[in-house]
Structure 1
Amino acid sequence: MYLYVKDFHTCSKSSYFRYFVSLNCVLWTGYILLQLSDWPSLEDDKFLESWLKLQLERQAMVKKTCLNKDDLEFGVPELDLKNFVYEPHNNLLYCYHPKVSTSTWFQQILVNSKTLDWVNSDTNPHSVIPRLYTPKNIGFLRNHVQTSISFTMVRHPFERLVSAYKDKIQIFSDKEYDNKRKEILNEYGNLNFESFIEHVLREAKKSCNRIDKCVLDRYWQPFIYGCAYCQIPYTYLLKHETIDKDTRAMALITKIPFKSVHLEKSNENTRDVVNEFFKRLNQTQIDALKRLYELDFKMFDYDPDFLLPHNL
C-alpha cells in the first residue's frame, strides 16, 4: 500500500533541526540512564559510549543531506507500508531494505517477540514477520514512530546491487523472479551482470527522473525511496558493514537479547567480489549508477569508488 508522506509528516528545515537536537538529548539521556544501571563490564560501557557518538555522526549525515537537497525538504511523497514492521512486545519499529541483513533482523525480531509459542529455529521469518507485523495504516505508523525503538539498516549500494543480482537473477531458485529474468533475457539475449545493469538503468531512466519518486524493484531501489529518512526520526541507524557492533549495542541499550552477528570474514571478500562484477561494466554505466545512488552515498557516508576496481 502506498500512502502520501505529506499526510504523514511535513519536515521543514526548522522542524528537522528541532528533531536533531531532540535526538541528541534522547541518545545521551539514554546513555546517562544506562550509566546508572547494572553494567556488565567497563568494556561495554566504553564501547557503548563510542557507539552512541557514531550514531550522532550518522544522524548528522542524514540531516545534512536532507537540508542541503532542496528537493528533499518535504521528502519522498510516497511511503510503502510494506517496508515496515512493528513488533509490539519489544516496541520495535523496523524499516527494512531487501539484501541488507533482512533475514538476520527478521529472525532476531521473531525469536524475541515472546508472543508466538510456535516459533523455533526452523520457522521462516520472511513468511511470518510481514504477515503479522506490517503496520495496518498510516495512522498506526504515525502513532508508533515517536514512541517506539525505531531502527533501519543500510549497506554500500554497489555491494547490495551485486548481492541482488546474484540472488535474484544469476541463480534461478527464486520463482518470483522468473518473469524478471525472462524480461532481461528478451531485452539483451543473456542474463549476465552487464545486461542486468542495463536493465536497471533503463528502468531508472523511465521511472526515477524525479527526486520524489523512483519505482524500481525493491531489491535495487535506492534506500532514500524506501524508508523516508527525511521524515521519520529513526532512533538508530545501523549499517550492514558494522552489524556485529550494531547488534551488540542494540542489545545493551534495549535489553533485548539480540544474538551477536559476525561478518568479518565475508567483509574481507566483499571488495574482491564487487570488483569482479564491476570490471565487466564500462565507465558510462558506472557513472550512471553513481548518479542513481548519489543520495544514498551522501546520506550514509559511503564512498562510491571504495569497492570499485582501481583502474576505473
Structure 2
Amino acid sequence: MTKSRLFCLLVVLGSVFMILFIIVYWDNVGTASYNLHTSFSKSLPPQSSGKQPTTFPTTEDSHASDIDRFLDGFLNSATTKNDLQSTKALNVPLRASNSLEENVRGYDWSTRTKLEGSFDQEFMQQERKLNLRRFCTNSRFSFPTKYRMFDDIPNKELDHLIVDDRHGIIYCYVPKVACTNWKRILIVLSESLLDKKGVPYQDPLLIPREDVHNTSSHLTFNKFWRRYGKFSRHMMKIKLKKYTKFIFVRDPFVRLISAFRSKFELENEDFYRSFAIPILTRFSNRTNVPTSASEAFSIGAIPSFSEFIQYLLDARTEEQRPFNEHWRQVYRLCHPCQIDYDFIGKLETLDEDATQLLSQLNIDSLFQFPPSYRNRTASSWEDDWFAKIPLEWRQKLYQLYEPDFVLFGYPKPENLLNV
C-alpha cells in the first residue's frame, strides 16, 4: 500500500471516528444549557425585501443540534440542497383558507380570551400521562404493537411525527382532531412554506388548506433517512429525548363520525374512488355503482354510516390495505407506548389545552390557536349516529378502538354497548 493510499485511509477512518464520537457525546448532553422554545423572532420579517428568504432554519436562529447540522452537511448536502430548492418553489398565492369542508363544518370565529387555571391544566396533564403510562405497562391490558420497540416501527409508520428543529417540537398529528390548524402553526414556526411574496407565512390562517396537508410542507420522521442515512434512527432518538412532544386526541367514536361526514358526505373524487366504491360494491344493494363522485352525488349513491361501519369491521379491509389515516387508531398513528409524550391534548378541551400548550412552548405571545369547529357534544353525536347500528356491530367496533378509549382516558360508552 502506497503512502498516499494509507494517508487517505487514515483520513476516512478518522472522519468516521469523529462522527461516531460526536453522536455518542451529543446523545449524553442535556438540554439545560439552552432554551429550545425562544428562537422564533417576535419581530416580523420585512415584507419589502427583494431577497427570497430560505425556508429552512439558519445557523443564527436555529436550535437544531450541532450534530444535526454537521450530519446535514457531511452526509446529505446534495439532498438538503434539493429539498431547499423544491421548498423555495412553493410560492403559493395568498387566498382564503376556508374550503368547502370548512364552510360545511363551520368555524367559531369568536375572539378568545386567555384562559386561567394553569394549576388545573398541569394536574390534568399529569393525570393523562399517568393514565397512559399505567396502561402501557399493564400486562393485563394488551393490544397489537403494544410491546414493540421503537426501533421495530417501520419508517412508513412514522409519517405522522412532524419535527420543528427551530423550536424543538415534535407533533404527532391525528386526522379529525384539529390537525389542520396545528399543522398551520408548525408551518409558521418552522418557516417551511413561503407565501406569494417569497417570505415565510406569519399568519396560520392564511396558509391554504391544500398546502397544509401537502407532505412537502413538513419534516417528518419517515423522511429522516434522506438526510441522515444509517444515522436516521439514532437522530430520531436524540430528538425524542430532547424535544417537546405533543399529541391531540378525541373520543374515538366521535372521531369516526367526523371522518365519515368529511370524507363521504362531501364530494371528494379521490376518497370516492378509493373507499366509497369498495364500500358500495361490498355492502350496498346496488347492481351498478357509479364510477365517479360527481355521478354518485347527483343520484345520491353514497355510502351510509352503517355501510361504513361494516367496512371497518370486515377483515378483508385490513387485508387489502391498512386503515386510512382518518379512521386509523391513534395508537397505530402515534405509538404512545413507545414515545413518551410531554403534552396530551384533547379536542373536547381544545381551547384550554391549546392555550396551555402555546404558553408551555413560549409562543403564546405570537398568536392564538386558530378558530375551532362548532360541534355538538360527543354524547349527542354518538346517540344519533349509532342508533341504527346493530348492537353486535357496536360491540365489535368498540373492541377495535378499545386501546384508544383506554389509553387516553375516554369512558367506555356503556349506553351504546348494552341492550
Which TM-score band (shorter chain)?
0.7 to 0.9
Measured at CA, do residues 144 and 265 of structure 1 come closer, stay the same or move farther in structure 2, by a change above 3 Å? Answer: same
Residue from 307, 317, 321 that aligns with 1:195: 307
Structure 2 residue 209 is the aligned partner of structure 1 residue 126: no
Spell out the pairing of 1:83-162 with structure 2 (5 A cutoff): 83-114=160-191, 116=194, 117-119=199-201, 121-124=206-209, 125-128=211-214, 130-135=216-221, 136-137=223-224, 138-139=232-233, 140-162=235-257
Structure 2 residue 78 is the aligned partner of structure 1 residue 78: no
1:168 shift after superposition: 1.3
Spell out the pairing of 1:1-312 with structure 2 (5 A cutoff): 47-69=117-139, 71=142, 72-74=146-148, 77-79=152-154, 80-114=157-191, 116=194, 117-119=199-201, 121-124=206-209, 125-128=211-214, 130-135=216-221, 136-137=223-224, 138-139=232-233, 140-189=235-284, 191-203=303-315, 215-257=322-364, 258-260=367-369, 265-266=374-375, 268-305=376-413
Which stretch shows the higher mean deviation, 140-149 or 237-246? Answer: 140-149
Measured at CA, do residues 250 and 129 of structure 1 come closer, stay the same or move farther in structure 2, by a change above 3 Å? Answer: farther
Q: In structure 2, the residue corresponding to 1:94 is in which secondary structure? A: strand
The C-alpha deviation readout for 1:179-230, integer Å capped at 9, x for no partner, is: 211000100126111111000011488559xxxxx93221111111111111
CA–CA separation in structure 2 for the residues paired with 1:109 and 1:47: 25
1:58 shift after superposition: 0.5
- Between the aligned residues of both structures, percent identity stands at 22
CA–CA separation in structure 2 for the residues paired with 1:161 and 1:143: 34
Give me the TM-score of the superposition, normalised by structure 1.
Answer: 0.75
The C-alpha deviation readout for 1:217-270, integer Å capped at 9, x for no partner, is: 21111111111111111111111111101111012111113514565952x444
* Maintained 8 Å contact 1:67/1:73: no
Which stretch shows the higher mean deviation, 105-114 or 51-60? Answer: 105-114
* Maintained 8 Å contact 1:222/1:296: yes
* Maintained 8 Å contact 1:151/1:234: yes
CA–CA separation in structure 2 for the residues paired with 1:218 and 1:205: 14
CA–CA separation in structure 2 for the residues paired with 1:98 and 1:295: 17
In structure 2, the gaps of 5 or more residues are: 1-30, 36-112, 225-231, 285-301
CA–CA separation in structure 1 for the residues paired with 2:275 and 2:267: 11
The C-alpha deviation readout for 1:254-304, integer Å capped at 9, x for no partner, is: 1113514565952x4443233221112010000001101111111111013
CA–CA separation in structure 2 for the residues paired with 1:251 and 1:52: 13
In structure 1, the gaps of 5 or more residues are: 1-25, 31-42, 209-213
CA–CA separation in structure 2 for the residues paired with 1:90 and 1:305: 39
CA–CA separation in structure 2 for the residues paired with 1:251 and 1:146: 20
CA–CA separation in structure 2 for the residues paired with 1:271 and 1:104: 25
CA–CA separation in structure 2 for the residues paired with 1:118 and 1:59: 35
Give me the TM-score of the superposition, normalised by structure 2.
Answer: 0.57
Q: In structure 2, the residue corresponding to 1:191 is in which secondary structure? A: coil
1:48 shift after superposition: 1.8
The C-alpha deviation readout for 1:116-167, integer Å capped at 9, x for no partner, is: 5242504334345654312323523222111111101110000000011111
CA–CA separation in structure 2 for the residues paired with 1:164 and 1:111: 26
Measured at CA, do residues 114 and 106 of structure 1 come closer, stay the same or move farther in structure 2, by a change above 3 Å? Answer: same
How many residues end up aligned between the 2 structures? Answer: 265
Q: In structure 2, the residue corresponding to 1:303 is in which secondary structure? A: coil
